[in-house]
Amino acid sequence: MAVNYERKMVKSEVDTLYVNYINLELLLNHVKKLIKKHGPDAHVQMMSSDFGAYVGVTALVPETNVQMERRIAQEDRLEKEQEEQDRKEYERLTKKYKG
């Protein structure tokens, strides 16, 4: 597994829409605005809070610099761990079959 140094797209909550006691026409207008703002591929999830029900809108967005640095560090660490495991396995098998 090679470390991916390119910026990835990640799913992130990008908007919310409170839906308590809202009529359908107003809801439709809000949804149209959300589609225009975030695209037709954005997803919604019904949520609830102390303030009532709302829709969380998620979309794919470029990862932040902090997210990217954290991901690269994790991928690099995992790659080094895998290489170390592979080296130990190679040494074990070499010893077993040359032995």
Average pLDDT, rounded, for the chain: 92
**CB distance 41 to 59 below 8 Å:** yes
Q: What percent of the chain lies above the pLDDT cut of 70?
A: 98
Instruction: Please report which confidence band the pLDDT of residue 48 belongs to, taking 50, 70 and 90 as the band edges.
Output: confident
Mean pLDDT, residues 69-95 taken together: 96
For the chain, give every domain's residue range. 8-62, 63-99
User: Over the stretch 4-41, which tens digit does the pLDDT of each residue have?
Assistant: 889 999 999 999 988 888 899 999 999 999 999 999 99
DSSP 8-48: PEEEEEEEEEE-TT--HHHHHHHHHHHHHHH-TT-EEEEEE
Instruction: Please report which confidence band the pLDDT of residue 80 belongs to, taking 50, 70 and 90 as the band edges.
Output: very high
In our burial notation (b when 16+ CB lie closer than 10 A, e otherwise), range 10-21 reads eeeebbebeeee
